Amino acid sequence: MPSMVLQPVLQESWALIYGLFALSGFILGWAAQRGNYCFVNAMTSIFTAKSYERFGALLILFGLSALGSGLLVAFGVIPAFDQYYYNYFAGWYILVGSIIFGFGAALAGGCNLSMLYRAASGYVQNWIELFGMMIGTYVFAIGIWPFQLYTMANGILSTTNGGYVEYLPYIIFHSISNMSVYITTLVVSLPLIFIGIYLQQYTKRKWAISSSLRINLPAARAYYNQNISTSGEEKVSLTKEIKDLILLRKPYGTNLTTIILALDLLLVFIVGAGYTFNYLVITSSDGGRFFEYLLMLGNVKLFLNTPWFNDSLPIVDPSTLMVIMLCIGAFSASYLSGDFKIRIPRNKSRLLIGFGGGMLVGIGVRMALGCNVGLMWTNFAQLGYDGIIFLFGMLLGVYLAIKVQERWL
């Protein structure tokens, strides 16, 4: 039986621990806003523009996160317990929930991460989407959760344990030794990174060929083959680019944002080790919780008679703090860069679609027990398999939404 004992890595004050979580949320919002990072856009571009560059970045993100967290465990820096503790029960609901989530997010125009940073950047449609997500959580709580909880408790198309039984080192090697974690880490992370890089390079080559066909082909070849700059000019160009990034004159590139986000997850993984909240477990349940708190102002107490809200977390916890700081980080980045602006879509039907999509997002994330951040991305870092299920389900949901939009919207 693997160890089930909490082992805090940092013996620091709670004020410092919460401060570091706040910093992590701020970094996440800031970097995502500057890089316009969106899981849904990365997937829609596959089906609409036949571009794999942003999706490749997602795979690199998952691979780097798995590599970093896995090596920290394999070399004994972080106990294995902290890596597999949050592996949820796998079941039908993750697949169905991720399909609903992908469908709703594609309709609304953004994933849980992008809806937050865009809302903080002034996009009214994302405000409506967030409200829809709150309503969707309530619909889930009263209409779906009792049935889902029954299937989970009785193992109907569901595991009943979670934790280490869904930990790939344990599944593959039937042990959680440093070596089993090390091998599993490499087997999971390196293919994701290499496939992600390949997809990005494939897209760049395809677009380069496409561009060359639209202009004089010999001239294009000459342009790409010639050495047009000296090392000194390259150094100046690199210095200027770094300066522009620091001064917020230009947005972050996709890969730079990917690296920052992966490092941010590892910061949370280390800081939260031993406290059972050492992942970016954000954005999925907080919408429903905020709805609960809003209703409490009118003396409506959902926690008294609604099953899911009975188990909802208190308002002051690391998850809520990270969401708040994510929004502050995104607002700061958009305001300081001059990008902040209240934006209302010209086509007002987009607001209604955003609300409907948000409702589906709220239902999907609660059914799946997490969102693209709090389940899919973090589960790759957990060396589990729920993230793989969510990834394929979300891709299917996004594809179906695109087909619906092409035909009816």
Rounded Cα distance, 362 and 111, in Å: 11
pLDDT of 7: 65
Provide the domain count of the chain. 1
Measured from the Cβ of residue 196, the count of other Cβ atoms closer than 10 Å reads 24
Rounded to whole angstroms, the Cα distance separating 91 from 98 reads 12
Q: Does residue 1 fall inside a structural domain?
A: no
Any domain includes 122: yes
pLDDT tens readout for residues 215-238? 554 544 444 454 444 445 555 688
Q: Please say whether the beta carbons of 91 and 382 come within 8 A.
A: no
CA distance 314 to 286: 10
The residues of the chain scoring below 50 in pLDDT are 217, 219-224, 226-231
pLDDT for position 222: 47
Q: Specify the pLDDT at position 213.
A: 59
| pLDDT single digits (tens) 87-104 | 888 999 999 999 999 999
Instruction: Give a yes or no: residue 341 inside a domain.
Output: yes
Predicted local distance difference test score (pLDDT) of residue 223? 41
- C-alpha to C-alpha distance for 90 and 82, rounded to whole angstroms: 18
The Cβ-side half-sphere exposure at 393, using a 13 Å CA radius, reads 27
Among residues 41, 62, 60, 390, the alpha carbon closest in space to that of 193 is found at 60
8 Å CB contact between 90 and 375 = no
Residue 6 inside a domain? The answer is: no
The contacts of residue 351 (CB under 8 Å, 6+ apart) are: 124, 125, 128, 345
Residue located via tokens 């989970």: 152
**Residue 167 corresponds to which tokens in the numbers above?**
């930990």
In contact, 331 and 50? CB cutoff 8 Å = no
Has residue 7 been placed in a domain? no
Q: In which region does residue 99 sit, left (phi positive, over 0), alpha (psi from -120 to 50) or beta (all else)?
A: alpha
d(CA 168, CA 176): 9
Domain that holds residue 299: 14-408
Is residue 4 one of the residues assigned to a domain? Answer: no
Confidence (pLDDT) at 277: 67
